[in-house]
């Protein structure tokens, strides 16, 4: 069997036009600080990392990472690549454990686990290409005719603009809609009322036959969330996402135990152990790891099995092919998040500008091609002039 001969990392820095930030766009963990300027700035992803793992026969698997890509690149180039080169890609479990255990003192979360994720995703893409099968077939096969998706945008703005966006996108048959909370503890009771107004306005447009979710992006705290949850109860929301800091597992558990609105989270959790803690504490009713952070497809598939045993659905953060293949192959992954193609704003949109092959949702569903080996994406040359590329 062919062995891994090289690993190439590149950082793609967007230099094209971006949508300018607006006030009360989305709460975030930095809101608690006294600060001047755009508090959301450090949470915009205008860089992305690609990781290409090549075997001796010239086959290339493609992985990626969005968190701190310049630092992740350094970690892969200096630490992880030397461990992986020379290995058989089909020994993916051994490769994963080797990367995890040999960097355990510093790599078990954050930058290290993100680097492991990028390499692991590339290895799964590689295995699919070498066997001429899509990744979801390697994971167990099709569990759905098509993948239902929910619309993920509705950033906080004026009530009118949010209603217009919801009304327009309702025509596309999405199974649910996720909005962003624009007001948090620093805005006090007045901000709570503004949040309630927006959720009420969205329900007026969407009705109650589709799911509605609200993402706080770690911008609230336990006290604030406990006060506002009863105000939101009547809107029958599918979930409230990341209401507190990712490290506040007890806060998640307390809010979830209130039984008012299901609490979701896990986007900023790392590894099988981290996700198991969320499940064991009954901290979330919906688990939302991101495959390119949590440890790649190898770790994600283990987490899916654990979550299924707890009967907690897994709905990975963001769309993107590495998540879609896991959703297709797992009954306990009922729906996918879907960011439509859009001008670069937060940065999730960059996936469409760097890669080609991501499926487009039609009438609220997307499908994966059974004849497309691997993940089914390639690095595009269409927008090369809009990036500065390192590597």
Residues designated catalytic = 317
For residues 315 and 264, the answer to whether their CB atoms sit within 8 Å is yes
Number of helices (H), then strands (E), belonging to the chain: the values are 15, 14
Give the per-residue SS3 of 82-102: HHHCCCCCCCHHHHHHHHHHH
Tokens at residue 163, please? 């209603």
For residues 317 and 291, the answer to whether their CB atoms sit within 8 Å is no
Tokens at residue 144, please? 């759905």
In degrees and rounded to multiples of 5, residue 361 shows phi and psi of -70, 140
Q: Tell me, rounded to whole angstroms, the distance of Cα 284 from its chain centroid.
A: 16
* Separation CA 281–CA 312 (nearest Å): 12
DSSP 32: G
For residues 128 and 59, the answer to whether their CB atoms sit within 8 Å is no
For residues 72 and 111, the answer to whether their CB atoms sit within 8 Å is yes
Q: Which residue has the tokens 């911008």?
A: 219
DSSP 60: E
DSSP 62: E
């Amino acid at each position: 069997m062919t062995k891994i001969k090289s690993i190439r990392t590149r950082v793609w820095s967007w230099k094209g036009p971006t949508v300018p930030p607006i006030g009360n766009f989305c709460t975030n963990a930095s809101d608690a600080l006294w600060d001047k300027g755009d508090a959301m700035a450090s949470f915009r992803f205008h860089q992305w990392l690609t990781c290409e793992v090549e075997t001796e026969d010239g086959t290339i698997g493609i992985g990626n990472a969005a968190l701190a890509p310049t630092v992740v690149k350094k970690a892969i180039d200096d630490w992880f690549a030397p461990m992986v080169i020379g290995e058989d890609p089909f020994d993916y479990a051994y490769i994963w454990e080797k990367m995890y255990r040999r960097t355990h003192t510093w790599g078990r979360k954050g930058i290290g686990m993100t680097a492991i994720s990028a390499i692991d995703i590339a290895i799964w893409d590689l295995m699919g290409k070498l066997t001429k099968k899509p990744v979801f077939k390697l994971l167990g096969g099709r569990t759905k005719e098509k993948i239902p998706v929910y619309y993920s945008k509705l950033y906080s703005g004026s009530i009118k603009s949010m209603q217009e966006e919801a009304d327009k996108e309702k025509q596309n048959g999405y199974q649910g809609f996720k909005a962003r909370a624009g007001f948090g503890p620093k805005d006090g009771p007045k901000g709570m009322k503004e949040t309630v107004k927006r959720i009420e306005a969205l329900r007026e447009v969407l009705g109650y036959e589709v799911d509605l979710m609200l993402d706080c992006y770690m911008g609230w705290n336990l006290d604030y969330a406990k006060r506002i949850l009863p105000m939101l109860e009547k809107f029958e929301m599918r979930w409230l996402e990341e209401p507190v800091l990712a490290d506040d597992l007890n806060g998640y558990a307390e809010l979830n135990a209130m039984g008012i609105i299901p609490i979701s989270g896990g986007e900023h959790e790392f590894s099988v152990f981290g996700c198991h803690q969320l499940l064991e504490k009954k901290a979330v009713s919906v688990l939302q790891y991101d495959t390119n952070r949590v440890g790649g497809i190898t770790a994600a598939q283990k987490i899916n099995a654990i979550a299924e045993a707890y009967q907690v659905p897994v709905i990975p953060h963001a769309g993107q092919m590495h998540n879609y293949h896991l959703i297709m192959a797992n009954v306990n992954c009922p729906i996918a998040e879907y960011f439509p193609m859009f001008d670069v704003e937060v940065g999730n949109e960059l996936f469409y500008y760097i890669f080609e092959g991501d499926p487009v949702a039609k009438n609220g569903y997307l499908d994966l091609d059974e004849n497309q080996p691997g993940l089914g994406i390639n690095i595009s040359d269409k927008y090369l002039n809009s990036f500065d590329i390192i590597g």
